[in-house]
Amino acid sequence: MRAFWSVFGKEILLFLRSFGLVAVVLYAFTADIYIAGEGIQVKPRHVKVGYVDYSGGYLANKILSHLHAPEFEKPRAFTSVEALHKAIFDKEIIVGLVFGSDFERSSYRSHRAKVDALIDATAAAQSFVTLGYLQNIVLGMSDIIFPVDLRIHKLFNQNADSKIFMSFTEMLSITTLLAVILSAMVFVKEKEEGTWDIMLLMPTNAKTIILAKALSQVLIILGGILLALGFVVLGIFDAPMNGSFWAFMLLSLLYSLTSIGIGFFIAAASRTIMQVAQLTILIMMPLIFLSGAWTPIYAMHPVLQKFSLLSPLRYYIEGSESIFFRGASILDIWPSFVAVALLGFILFVVGYRKIGRLF
Amino acid sequence: MRAGVIRAYILKEFKDLARTKMLYLVYILPTMILLLFGYGIRLEVTHARTIVLDYDNSTLSLDLISALEHTKYFDAHVSTMSEQEALRLIKKGDADILVIIPASLQKRILKHQKAQIGVYIDGAYPMRALTMQSYVEGEILHLAQKLLAKRGFDGHLITINQRTLFNQAMRDENAIVPGLIGLIMLVAPALLAALLIVKEKELGTIFNFYASPIGKTEFLIAKLTPVFLLHSLNIFILFLWAVYLFAVPFRGSFTLYWLASELYLFVSLGIGLLVSIITRRQIVAVVLTVIITVIPGFLYSGILMPISSMQGASAIEAHLFPVMYYNHIVYDTFLVGEGLASHKTVLYLGILALYGAVPLVLGTLLLRKELR
């Protein structure tokens, strides 16, 4: 037991002594998550609209006056269709409206009028939603009486607030990245310096040393999660916490052990830190992308869906999302717990054996 | 500048890379990211699992249900379960949308009274929630228009004649894959370059450099050339995947794409070099590089959100990172085809050159040739 604590303490001390590493881990768990949360607003916000008005009339102005903040910027007038085209090609304008010279006239005479809308579809999501807004505005201007009121409730996240979502998934991704890379580095650094074989040859049980090294990294990761959760996700972005905090921490603990199992594999397979870096990225990218952090799993390619069953991050994300947003209890989401624990157990045990072998 | 010295050093660096079996990773990594992200990210929502509770059972409600059933966007199932049960299914993540058609919907509409249709959408993925919402709204508005046409409507009607530019089919691949090239060409070379010098520092072999008569510039040229050459090939590999596998149209000039990518490669190498010079441990270098390249490379690149609609801090950050300038050019060459005719492209090309030069010069200045 004394050997365990001294190795444990040594690793924590080594971590704390490396100023750069502490700074980077702190940055990753705070500022980086903040940047990811702030970076994206999926709702159309400040969409740049440009228009050319050949009709010079009241109706066009009335439509344009409906395009207001915060969804749209004040529409910019262009003198010709060519100028508008150029602005769209330069990505200064996302939606361009052209009111033809007979727009107003035909609206009064034949009760039918047409607006030409040019939409930059490289921003596919925004243009889709913007189009919906436009259609609604135009429909409201027409004399249609359609007495159905659509009551739309977005469950769990009524305003479709992407800040919470993005910061949350970023926190989980950062956790994975750091857990894998830190635990692999702890071993490979010794390998590179040639001290690992000496460690294994020491008269204490090699298993104790490996376990102490691994668990010291778990402590660092859990500390980081608490920091990120307290300051950024719950603090700045004010995420809802509908479920139990301890359920989440338990899941996080299980998950960190799983990630460290992956770290073992990488450590066993590589001799230099350069290899660790490349291998980590090689394994992390699929892990994160197959986990449903960015797209829900059932929306993926069918083959990728099968692969995603192997990603422990998938169960971690499913579980913690249910805890946070849907307020599920442990009993509701026990499959996530079991899956993380099972994958973790396999990875940990096999990786443990691999890294414990001499040379 | 002594060509002989540089050549010898480059040879040594190549051998180093080859011995660590890094060479194949240089080519596997970018391709793998492109395939995964290209197939993995879907912005369009298809087959949303929809539960319809029909309390009305009228022709109108049946029209509505068949409208929902006959698009690829929804997998609608009419069910007789209770609202609580249906909401629970959403809670467990087994359904996405719940549509509740109240009793007497048809009756009220025929009498011109207000009726309500309740729609519940799983909001856990904000982007999908918004998209699904606009689909549901669109579907019901469309139905309304059809109904009005049947009744011989005679009021003012303004229609939108929509034309989508650059990505007429609204394919996700077209919108995402070119942006991914910008992400990959930032991350992969930077990651390799970041370890070049710090590795020697940690192993102590940097003393060879301190003690040898090789100059700082010569050293850097020798260090960066192998990475530059190896990754230059990726510019073509990624292009081939995008055009032939993902069938993204290519409308601009290939020379422009190639030149801009080589410039961008300098930017990426410069970032890696700076990281390598300021850090002392490899692990710090790796984590730092991943964090400062992956997040901006993805979020501030214009893939998910157009740069022009960013505001405040995020707009400033987007302009600080080099990704958006390169991505503008890449999207231009793939989907738009304006090329150098647009002043913005020329300007951005200049900015990229600046971004490429500054870290390299800064790195040369910061690199010391003696012990700290």
Q: Quick check: is A147 in a domain?
A: no
On whether both A211 and A319 belong to a single domain, the answer is yes
Q: Which of B11-15, B180-184, B310-314 has the lowest mean pLDDT?
A: B310-314
Q: Quick check: is A153 in a domain?
A: no
pLDDT tens-place string over residues A261-315: 888 888 888 887 777 877 887 788 778 777 777 667 766 777 777 887 888 888 8
On whether both A299 and A344 belong to a single domain, the answer is yes
pLDDT band at B335 (very low <50, low <70, confident <90, very high): confident
pLDDT tens-place string over residues A94-107: 788 888 777 777 77
On whether both A342 and A286 belong to a single domain, the answer is yes
Q: Which pLDDT belongs to residue B346?
A: 87
Smallest CA–CA separation between B185 and chain A, in Å?
14
On whether both A199 and A339 belong to a single domain, the answer is yes
Range of the domain at A319: 2-40+161-356
Distance, in Å, from the CA atom of B327 to the CA atom of B335, rounded to the nearest integer, reads 11
pLDDT band at B267 (very low <50, low <70, confident <90, very high): very high
Domains (range + CATH), chain B? 3-41+172-366 (no CATH), 48-150 (3.40.1710.10)
Closest-CA residue of B relative to A86 is B342
Mean pLDDT along residues B118-133: 78
CB contact under 8 A, A40 and B304: yes
Q: Quick check: is A152 in a domain?
A: no
Which three-class secondary structure state does DSSP give residue B61? helix
Q: Quick check: is A80 in a domain?
A: yes
Mean pLDDT along residues A199-206: 79
Distance, in Å, from the CA atom of B334 to the CA atom of B178, rounded to the nearest integer, reads 7
Distance, in Å, from the CA atom of A216 to the CA atom of B325, rounded to the nearest integer, reads 42
Backbone φ, ψ for residue B115 (5° rounding): -130, 155
Q: Is the pLDDT of residue B167 over 70?
A: no
Distance, in Å, from the CA atom of A279 to the CA atom of A272, rounded to the nearest integer, reads 11
Closest CA to A210 of A222, A201, A202, A200: A200
Q: Is the pLDDT of residue B242 over 60?
A: yes
Domain of A74, CATH number, reads 3.40.1710.10
Backbone φ, ψ for residue A247 (5° rounding): -60, -40
On whether both A286 and A309 belong to a single domain, the answer is yes
Q: Quick check: is A32 in a domain?
A: yes
Copy the structure tokens of residue B131.
Answer: 């998209």
Other Cβ atoms less than 10 A from the Cβ of B270: the count is: 24
Q: Which pLDDT belongs to residue B273?
A: 92
Look at phi and psi of residue B29 and say left if phi exceeds 0, alpha if psi is from -120 to 50, else beta: alpha
ipTM entry: 0.72
pLDDT band at B263 (very low <50, low <70, confident <90, very high): very high
| Domain end point (choices A80, A112, A141) | A141
- What is the average pLDDT score of chain B? 82
Q: Which pLDDT belongs to residue B233?
A: 92
Which three-class secondary structure state does DSSP give residue A285? helix
Q: Quick check: is A207 in a domain?
A: yes
Distance, in Å, from the CA atom of B89 to the CA atom of B81, rounded to the nearest integer, reads 11
On whether both A90 and A236 belong to a single domain, the answer is no
| Domain end point (choices A141, A172, A207) | A141
On whether both A79 and A119 belong to a single domain, the answer is yes
Q: Which pLDDT belongs to residue B153?
A: 55
| Bond preceding residue A70 cis, omega within 30 of 0 | yes
Task: Write out chain A residues lying below 8 Å of B113, CB-based.
Answer: 147
Q: Are B327 and B178 in contact (CB under 8 A)?
A: yes
Mean pLDDT along residues B240-263: 90
Q: Quick check: is A149 in a domain?
A: no
On whether both A255 and A225 belong to a single domain, the answer is yes
B77 forms bridges with which residues in the sheet? B51
Q: Is the pLDDT of residue B304 over 80?
A: no
CB contact under 8 A, B284 and A299: no
pLDDT tens-place string over residues A19-52: 888 888 888 888 888 877 776 666 666 778 888 8
pLDDT tens-place string over residues B7-24: 988 898 888 888 876 677
Smallest CA–CA separation between B263 and chain A, in Å?
21
Smallest CA–CA separation between B37 and chain A, in Å?
7
Q: Quick check: is A299 in a domain?
A: yes
CB contact under 8 A, B119 and A170: no
Sign of CA dihedral B150, B151, B152, B153: negative
Cβ-based burial of B372 (10 A; exposed 0-12, middle 13-18, buried ≥19) = exposed
pLDDT band at B237 (very low <50, low <70, confident <90, very high): very high
Give A159 or B61, the one with higher predicted confidence: B61
Smallest CA–CA separation between A325 and chain B, in Å?
7
- Listed in order, strand segments (DSSP E) in chain A are 49-53, 76-77, 95-99, 112-120, 148-155
Give B249 or A166, the one with higher predicted confidence: B249
Task: Write out chain A residues lying below 8 Å of B56, CB-based.
Answer: none
For residue B51, the one-letter residue type is I
**What's the structural domain count of chain A?**
2
Q: A332: which DSSP letter?
A: T
pLDDT tens-place string over residues B23-55: 777 888 888 888 888 877 766 777 788 888 888
Chosen from A29, A138, A152, A280 to mutate, greatest number of chain B CBs within 10 A: A152
Q: Are A82 and A127 in contact (CB under 8 A)?
A: no
Cβ-based burial of B257 (10 A; exposed 0-12, middle 13-18, buried ≥19) = buried
Which three-class secondary structure state does DSSP give residue B355? helix
pLDDT tens-place string over residues A139-171: 766 655 555 666 667 666 655 567 777 788 888
On whether both A270 and A318 belong to a single domain, the answer is yes
- Which residue among B45, B131, B308 sits closest to A91, beta carbon to beta carbon? B308
On whether both A253 and A280 belong to a single domain, the answer is yes
